A and B are shown apart, each in its own frame.
Chain A
């Protein structure tokens, strides 16, 4: 009797232990890493791959003792001098939550080093791509970091309305901040008369990327109009399989890459006024201006390498990989400035292997209009440490360090010292814009944005359904503002 049950127990034990070991062996191989899918659109700007990762900081835990190699010693000294004016012995600590990891994080921590050295304030930085989830839990429970990156303008308004976000106008030198920052960015950070968010970096959206070895160098003589670009694509037809490279897969946020293209068409054909009234829900989707943009997008889809099957199934980061194959799969890629750190671009040399020109004007009067996105930051506490950090972060001295690795473009017009001529060009594009508009899909209400992503996927799959797509978007627009 006992012998029998002992046997049963032994067998059960062996079974459990074996199950545990199997779990140990295979579970750990697959479950260890974080989800690798990319987060939402326009969450960051990255100028180039650079070699910043090799130097100094890489982690939340350790403070870098050596600045990133890309930092110019005089720029470090200037940043330190500025930080010292904020108060030399403040001490204490301030916590920061943002989405930056990898080389971006190294760059951010490197920028903070002179601040920590000069003020004695310890900055506790936590970077995670799950930042929106952490922040949402923090907002709901009241356990918040001092300073955090905000998911978007819509969330900023919501947090400010609930009284969580501090009014930055009391922390910053408001006149100086307004003088150094494009108006549209100041406006985006302002809600109910309060400055609730500031942009620490921006990315320029809507560049056309190409391989100079295939199309020749177009940087000095870019196509002056959309028609000129189309003509160029026809002339160079034999040089590649298709004129365009395009792909939109991005996990749950699939489709955002297509919204950027559509936004470029809208902005460059009907200008910022219609663009702004469109994302604000005052211009209907079925409006001829928007419909024409959809049709232009449809033409691009039809002329894309691999057709709609590749567009829908390839990650946006790898959209431009066929630019560099032999023979080339395509001539041009439409993407924001951060593409240079992704896909095949990451292993190519800027200017020689790839270059860009701005999205050409469809209506010439809008040639100076530029679309961008960026990382919006807000403060959840009003301590002297937080105020000092916010002042430091938006200063041109700190921003000069921030852009030095080539990862970022600055929202500060005073930053002119970019590490290479390509970023210089992108920076000039932003600061020289006659009008600067923010990513439309990022400003729409969540329901509208989701539907926008989804319907673009439908449209790419079946372009003949355009009217149904626009009707659907109109009905969501009617209910979500």
Chain B
């Protein structure tokens, strides 16, 4: 596609070049739109199904609704919103997710700075060990951590989930931030050091502001991981304290033990997705500004 567009730049025939540029890009646009549609089809199907009555959802595919828009209804949404416990669960999810996003990023930023710019014995071995933890499946940790939490009577508390998610999130967070901080220009830190800055100043005034884009990206990953988590919440809350159950547990429970009621899940999924989508789409501008404004003035 680039080879098609390139001749237009010669300027030998401006009118013809514009024409060729416009039509030369057609295949590119076509392919991009096609990929976009293929990519979005499952989500669109789920979205349309969330507005269809249960009998229709079970009887025919979502595309049939396109030809009969009159059958669309909000009943699935009202059912989900009316089911008791959905609002407390929403608040619980926020209570779980926000600290479980902030704590690991906070810890990881310190760790990443230390791994990048402080020299101490065993630094590389430690870093390899931390990154190595990425391959440990979190399921293998359930039983020992449950026992540990049991000693401190943490099971069923929000704190248990914060600690668990911090632990599960840290290896990736440290890996990501350390790679980003490590690629910052060494000269900046050297000149700061000559000017008398200690490590705390370097971290707070230089490393942290320059790492904002990576932190923003990491925050999105970690927020979504915790927000969408069902298993970790189930294990550490268990039966001990259902009042603390997050949205995922309540949503999963809309379905009965043999699977009836699954047609409410589409509506519930979109309600549960709404908050992360709104947050990230509205913060998008901030993220971009952070990327441009946070780095070194050159």
Report chain A residues within 8 Å CB of B261: 53, 101-103
B253 touches A59 (CB 8 A): yes
Q: Is the CB of B256 within 8 A of A137?
A: no
A60 touches B260 (CB 8 A): no
Q: Find out whether the CB atom of B185 lies under 8 angstroms from the CB atom of A2.
A: yes
Inter-subunit contact B251/A34 (CB<8 Å)? yes
Do residues B238 and A56 form an inter-chain contact, with CB atoms below 8 A? no
Chain B residues near A53: list those with CB within 8 A.
Answer: 79, 83, 261
CB closest residue in chain A, given B79: A53
**Residue A176 interfacial (CB < 8 Å):** no
Max chain B C-beta neighbours (<10 A), residue from A8, A26, A38, A101:
A101
- The smallest C-beta distance from B33 to any residue of chain A, in angstroms, reads 17
Total A-B residue contacts, Cβ distance less than 8 Å:
284
Which residues on B sit within 8 Å (CB–CB) of A67?
none
Binds A, one of B6-14, B23-31, B104-112, B242-250: B242-250
Check A32 against B260 for contact (C-beta < 8 Å): no
Q: For the complex formed, measure the closest distance between the CB of A147 and the CB atoms of chain B, giving whole angstroms.
A: 9
Chain B residue contacts of A389, Cβ below 8 A: none
Of A15-23, A288-296, A441-449, which stretch is located at the interface? A15-23
Asked if B157 is at the interface (CB within 8 A of a chain A CB), the reply is: no
Contact A25 B277 (CB under 8 A): yes
Cβ-neighbour of B242 out of A14, A30, A124, A318 (below 8 A): A124
Question: Which of A43-51, A212-220, A396-404, A411-419 touches B?
Answer: A43-51
A6-B146 in contact (CB<8A): no
| A164-198 interface with B by 8 A CB criterion | none
B287: which of A17, A133, A134 is its contact (CB, 8 Å)? A17
Query: How distant is the Cα of A214 from the Cα of B50 in the complex, in angstroms?
Result: 33
A126 in contact with B245 (CB, 8 Å): yes
Whole-angstrom distance from the CB of A60 to the nearest CB of chain B? 4
Give complex CA distance A452, B230 in Å.
Answer: 31
Given contacts A10-B295, A33-B251, A347-B54, contact A28 B224 (CB under 8 A): yes
Q: With contacts A20-B221, A143-B146 known, is A346 near B238, CB below 8 A?
A: no
Interface size of A by Cβ–Cβ distance < 8 Å? 84
For A322-361 the 0/1 string (1 means CB < 8 A from B) is: 0000000000000000100111101100000000000000
Q: Known interface pairs A100-B257, A141-B150, A317-B259. Does A60 touch B245 (Cβ–Cβ under 8 Å)?
A: yes
**A125-B242, A130-B231 given; A103·B256 CB < 8 A:** yes
Contacts of B239 in A (CB 8 A): 95-97, 124-126, 134, 138, 145-146, 148
Instruction: Describe B's contact surface by its main secondary structure.
Output: helix
A372 within 8 Å of B (CB atoms): no
Whether a CB of chain A sits under 8 angstroms from the CB of B114 is no
- Across the interface, name the chain B residue whose C-beta is closest to A125: B242
B93 to chain A: closest CB distance in Å? 11
Picked from B43, B58, B253, the residue with its CB within 8 Å of the CB of A127 is B253
Q: Does B84 contact A (CB under 8 A)?
A: yes
- Is A346 in contact with B54, judged by CB distance below 8 angstroms? yes
Q: Are A142 and B147 in contact (CB under 8 A)?
A: yes
- Residues in B whose Cβ lies below 8 Å from that of A19: 217
Q: A105 and B241 in contact (CB under 8 A), knowing A6-B296, A30-B42?
A: no
Contact of A44 among B231, B257, B287, B298 (CB under 8 A): B257
Measured CB to CB, the closest approach of chain B to A28, in angstroms, equals 4
Is A238 positioned at the interface, with any CB of B under 8 Å from its CB? no
Asked if B240 and A143 make an inter-chain contact with CB atoms under 8 angstroms apart, the answer reads yes
Residues on A with C-beta less than 8 A from B198 are: none
**B183 and A17 form a contact (CB under 8 A):** no
Best-surrounded residue of B79, B83, B253, B284 (most CB of chain A within 10 A): B253
Determine the distance from Cα of A141 to Cα of B237 in the docked complex, in whole angstroms: 13
Q: 1/0 contact trace for B189-232 toward A, CB 8 Å?
A: 00000000000000000000010111011111100100110110
Q: Which residues of chain A have C-beta atoms less than 8 A from B273's C-beta?
A: 28-29, 32
In the complex, what's the smallest C-beta–C-beta distance from A150 to chain B, in angstroms? 13
| Contact pick for A29, options B46, B237, B253, CB 8 Å | B46
Q: How far is B255's CA from A105's CA once the two chains are assembled, in angstroms?
A: 9
26 A–B contacts from the bound complex (CB under 8 Å): A10-B213, A14-B288, A16-B213, A20-B221, A23-B220, A26-B43, A28-B272, A28-B273, A32-B248, A33-B268, A36-B255, A53-B261, A57-B84, A59-B253, A60-B242, A62-B84, A95-B239, A95-B240, A129-B255, A130-B234, A134-B238, A138-B146, A141-B147, A342-B259, A344-B59, A346-B54
Measured CB to CB, the residues of B under 8 A from A are 39, 42-43, 46, 54-55, 58-59, 79, 82-86, 88-89, 92, 142-144, 146-147, 149-150, 155, 176, 180, 183-185, 187-188, 210, 212-214, 216-221, 224, 227-228, 230-231, 234-235, 237-243, 245, 248-262, 265, 268-269, 272-273, 276-277, 280, 284, 287-288, 290-292, 295-296, 298
Interface residues of A (CB under 8 A from B): 1-3, 5-6, 8-10, 12-14, 16-17, 19-21, 23-34, 36-39, 43-44, 46, 49, 53, 56-62, 64, 95-97, 99-105, 124-130, 133-134, 137-138, 140-143, 145-146, 148, 317-318, 321, 338, 341-344, 346-347, 407
For the complex with contacts A24-B220, A38-B259, A100-B256, 11 further pairs of A-B residues with Cβ separation under 8 Å are: A10-B295, A13-B214, A20-B217, A21-B220, A24-B280, A32-B272, A60-B85, A126-B245, A128-B249, A146-B239, A318-B58
